[in-house]
Structure 1
Amino acid sequence: MNQPSKKLKIAVIGAGFSGLSAASYAGMAGHQVHVFEKHAIPGGRARQFTTPEGYVFDMGPSWYWMPDIIEDFFKDFGRSANEFYDLVSLDPQFEILFKEDKVNLPKDYSEQKALFESIEKGAGEQLDAFMEDAKYKYEVGMRQFVSKPSHSWLEFFSPTIAKSALRLDLLSDYRSFVAKYFKDSRLRTIMEFPVIFLGASPKDIPALYSLMNYGGYQMGTFYPMGGFFELVKAMEQIALSQGVTFHYSSNVEKIITEGGKATALQIDGQYHFFDQIIASSDYHHTETKLPAEKRNYTEAYWEKRTFAPSCLIYYLGVREKIEGLKHHTLFFEHDLDPHIETIYGNKRWPENPLFYVCCPSKTDPEVAPEGKENIFLLMPLAIGIEDEESVREKYLQEMLQRIEKHTGAKDLHSKLEYKRSYCVSDFKKDYNAYGGNAYGLANILSQTAVLKPKLKNKKLKNLFYTGQLTVPGPGVPPSIISGKIAAREATKNT
């Protein structure tokens, strides 16, 4: 790679996926890059911790989708993911529990078609039609649409995107789109599930996001042996190979500005001077480190945004094996919409919650002691609600009872060798997350592309933002892409 005409000193705030990505690309462009991370390890929401009992818990992401997008990151540096970790394709991808029955979504696509056909006559062919459309959206959306910095709508007037505009279904809603293909409520729920974490009801999400079904169900659901943190460690290694310097346990207290530039970061009372700054920390929180007149957005702006959910998480170590529990299980015995209403409508704790269980010890013997089980529980919640321990514990009891009913296990609570809860206030404390959100901004039409918070500060010519609150949006692959875009913008014309 050609060296830049001017070698810049660049700061990256935060070592989550977007920060690791931005640092790697800025380093590859020949610049001096320093990453400042408030925690003692990289990963942000994807950190990992080990307990004295021998359990290893991924704190955040737990299903590995869109492997080609993640592989693209490694390819850009002449490497491959398989040099760093082993990916296992899960079969079934998910077990989904409904009120009266359950469905195991197989790895093999022909088996998926047979499953759909067994539930609803003609649904096998309809799945083909759905996936053909979703593949098109994936190839245009994930290869072209999401790679734009979104400074202006003019960026999207390329011949391919213009020609594809109608087929991308930006103006159709996801629920109506799914309903065109499937009538059975279980099939609709299976197809709607991937968009729940995008930040709104399926009736408010653009149909464009059927691309997630392709990037997940058809491409497969994977697990990196050792846990999702293996991806974090691999990205850190890539950054180090590009000359990036990491500063852990380094909390940015203030962004110093002079005229139209951000000149320094204040860390532990000391000033560190830089030519360019890329903030992968929470966008709203980053702006509170600036003088009010230098911020892109006011408090009123953030109050009007629609955020993706927060969640209640439990990390559990169980002192026995639980037969009948898969690697990924969705407990959808109740209707989807009442729970969604508590997240985006009346913002309260749900009465009949849906939740998700990850049991990686079914696949990976290294994450739990022999004969024991590593369990991660996740229940989506509204941001900003009270989350005292007594309320968390009430929902833990309900989730355990439903696991017992499903698996036949007895009195799981008494068999918990390790227990840790994580909820709204923890997301605020650990990640400075606005409202305690877990997944960034909702991917609704009014917050898509150019309508998202801007990648570049409008008043400081050398401050850029990256991560799930700006383009292209929430999720691991989009965050990796976001870091690449931010690095490209911060280093162009040098």
Structure 2
Amino acid sequence: MTPQRERARVGERDVVVIGGGIGGLATSALLAREGHRVTLLEKRDQVGGRAGSWEQDGFRFDTGPSWYLMPEVIDHFFKLMGTSAAEQLDLRKLDPGYRVVFEEGFDTVDVPADREAVTKLFESMEAGAGEQLSKYLDSAEDAYEIAKKRFLYSTFQSFLPFFRPDVLKRLPRIGSLLLQPLQSFVEKRFKDPRIQQILGYPAVFLGSSPFDAPSMYHLMSHLDLDDGVLYPMGGFTTLIAAMQRVATAAGVDIRTGADVVSIDTDARTPGRSPLDRRSATVRAVTYRAAGTTTTVDADIVVSAADLHHTETTLLPADLRTYPEKYWEKRVPGPSALLLYLGVRGSLPQLEHHTLLFTTDWRDNFGRIFGRETSVPSPASLYVCRPSATDDSVAPEGHENVFVLVPIPADVTIGRGGLERGGDARVEDLADAVIGQISEWAGVPDLAERIVVRRSYGPQDFADDLNAWRGTSLGPAHILKQSAFFRGSNRSAKVDNLFYAGSSTVPGIGIPMCLISAELIVKRLRGDTSTGPLAEPATG
């Protein structure tokens, strides 16, 4: 019996995971825990992907995700690995959860950390809105629970689980939630524009607009208004470090600086089923590192890299499930202008999380997602000041400020750089954004107090992360790109080639990428259930 057949008999296989972001780290860890020999290849010098870390002059910046939502999903991943989020991270609940600054005509609003207080806040903003919010959040919680039980953890290999009584009795409501935009759903229940914006903005976390995202995603309000917002002390880099730690302990061979150039295949006779069009099977993955080309044999390949890059760059044309013509009809999520600012002195005008909302909401999103795109000016944007909670992220007497401005997915906007070293258009946008924050938040000398400045633009997302069209998140969560309409996590042309990360099911965000890793395990087990995997018993 050959070694390969022996491995197949006992279930142990050689697995190569491409991409060391959240999805790739989680996939490699879970598959190693399953007993496979796993090699993780990451193009950059550090793992984390969008959830990276950058340090300069005593400041430590999280380069991407900064909202710790769906904590039970993150904890579930660690429990599958034999530990827990509580053992790995020092989590703090933020109160207020976040601050909202409006363009004109309204006072700043601090959104508190518990439902009762939020209900009182909404009632103070609009008569009857407190009672309406209670109904809204009950609906959001129900939508979240049914999504978690039947949709988020499904590979969509079988639709039989959807004919369960709990789904069937909700079908009319589910249909309505899928067909009605989130903005319309909110407008029917609340008239105050501030409340509409607070409830509609979470669509951006899904790479979409409240005018395009299905109202099913009102479930997001359950996450921040019911559950609250947490923060891992030390920053999100501590989450990446913990994931790397458990992956390494499980036996994963992590190789950074490894730029994958091809997924190598052997010919295969397609199966008898008309659905089995796979004419090839994976054989190896080839990558370049430090000028040397290396090939790693593989029985299974999981690409957690950008799906467009995987399909159109790493595979030959005849083996692409999603060729360029597929992407021509897809809608990207937004790109972003990111700013990493080290600021001298204190900034009490900003909370840990602060949102700045423009008055003309429809125009703002229309410029980002419309047929003719442009950068909104002024823009609705997000500011994170982690030094409000965590002294370790900035030198004493200074503040750490991260800014995210959703802009069109357009690489021609350019690259960013250190200390105004980016492309002119990106730096001009950065100047405008700093000026906007200064004016709206009441920090007149903000620009003069900046001692570290780095910008990051759409071309950087494309260069560093191979991101399709320079999107900062992935394909937008509109109806035709959600659930079973999203990209499958298995190649239709190449046997034993799978996909994880934000490009595939279930979608965008740290929790979704963790679930995407779990779906790979379910695929390999032949598990068509719709719930999360059972956690190992603890002694």
Q: Who is 1:384 aligned against?
A: 410
**Following TM superposition, by how much is the alpha carbon of 1:492 offset from its aligned partner in structure 2, in angstroms?**
4.4
Task: Report Cα offsets for 1:286-336 as digits up to 9, x if no partner.
Answer: 112111101102211102101111000010111221232111111114322
| 2:232 counterpart (214, 224, 239) | 224
Contact 2:16–2:41 (8 Å) recurs in 1: yes
Deviation string 1:141-161 (CA, Å, 9 cap, x unpaired) is 123211111235445333333
Mapped to 2, the partners of 1:146 and 1:290 lie a distance apart of: 28
2:195 to 187, 193, 209: 187
For residues 355-393 of structure 1, the C-alpha deviation after alignment (integer angstroms, 9 at most, x for no partner) is 111111111000000000111111001112422422222
Deviation, 1:166, is: 2.9
The answer to whether residue 132 in structure 2 is matched with residue 120 in structure 1 is no
Aligned residue type for 2:27: A
- The question of whether the paired residues in 1 share the 8 Å contact of 2:150 and 2:161 is answered with no
- Structure 1 residues 446 and 350: CA distance shift in structure 2, 3 A: same
Report the CA distance between 1:4 and its aligned residue.
7.8
| Structure 2 counterpart of 1:384, one-letter code | D
What secondary structure is seen at the aligned counterpart in 2 of 1:203? coil
Distance in 1 separating the partners of 2:172 and 2:215: 11
Q: Contact 1:276 / 1:490 at 8 angstroms: preserved in 2?
A: no
SS at match of 1:74: helix
1:87-236 correspondence to structure 2 within 5 Å: 87-98=91-102, 99-100=104-105, 101-151=107-157, 153-168=159-174, 169-236=177-244
The answer to whether the Cα contact below 8 Å between 1:150 and 1:471 also exists between their aligned partners in 2 is: no
CA distance in 2, matches of 1:375, 1:125: 36
How far apart, in 1, do the equivalents of 2:411 and 2:54 lie? 26
Identity, % of aligned pairs?
39
Distance 2:9 2:90 in 1: 35
Give the structure-1-normalised TM-score.
0.96
Q: Name the residue aligned to 1:368.
A: 394
Corresponding pairs, count:
490
Q: Is the 8 A contact 2:62 2:236 kept in 1?
A: yes
- Single out whichever of 172-181 and 472-481 deviates more from structure 2: 172-181
Q: Unpaired segments of 5 or more residues in structure 1?
A: none
Aligned counterpart, 1:397: 431
Change (3 A) 1:406 1:171: closer
Q: How does 1:412-491 map to 2 (within 5 A)?
A: 412-490=446-524
SS at match of 1:473: coil
List per-residue Cα deviations over 1:382-419 (Å, max 9, x = no partner): 11242242222222222222322244433322222111
* 2:282 counterpart (262, 279, 287): 262
SS state at 1:278 partner: strand
Contact 1:313 1:379 in 2 (8 A): yes
Deviation track 1:61-83 (CA, whole Å, cap 9, x = no partner) reads 01111111111111222311111
Aligned to 1:295: 320
**SS of structure 1 residue aligned to 2:10:** coil
Deviates more, 1:105-114 or 1:444-453: 444-453
Per the alignment, residue 380 of structure 2 pairs with 354
Q: Which moved more, 1:328-337 or 1:390-399?
A: 390-399
Query: In 2, are the aligned partners of 1:334 and 1:352 still within 8 Å (CA)?
Result: no
**Contact kept in structure 2, 1:63 and 1:222, CA below 8 Å:** yes
Q: In structure 2, what is the Cα distance between the partners aligned to 1:489 and 1:188?
A: 40
**Corresponding position of 2:74:** 70
Deviation for aligned residue 1:91: 1.1
- What secondary structure, in the 3-state scheme, does the structure 2 residue paired with 1:398 have? helix
- Structure-2 change in CA distance of 1:165 and 1:78 (3 Å): farther
**Which letter does structure 2 place at the counterpart of 1:212?**
M
2:337 counterpart of 1:312:
yes
Secondary structure of 1:46 counterpart: coil
Contact 2:430/2:455 (CA < 8 Å) preserved in 1?
no
- Partner residue of 1:17? 22
Structure 2 CA distance for partners of 1:167 and 1:78, relative to 1, 3 Å: farther
Q: Contact 1:170 / 1:445 at 8 angstroms: preserved in 2? A: yes
The answer to whether the Cα contact below 8 Å between 1:8 and 1:31 also exists between their aligned partners in 2 is yes
Letter in 1 for 2:36: H
Q: Deviations over 1:229-270 (max 9, x none)?
A: 111111112212222111111111111111120101111222
Match of residue 59, structure 2, among 55, 61, 66 = 55
Conservation of the 8 A alpha-carbon contact between 2:69 and 2:223: yes
| Secondary structure at the counterpart of residue 166 of structure 1 | helix
Aligned counterpart, 2:310:
286
RMSD: 1.7
Query: Which amino acid letter does the alignment assign opposite residue 140 of structure 1?
Result: I
> 8 Å contact 2:20–2:49 — kept in the other structure?
yes
Rate the CA distance shift 1:296–1:488 in 2: closer, same or farther, 3 A: same
Deviation at 1:491, TM superposition (A): 5.0
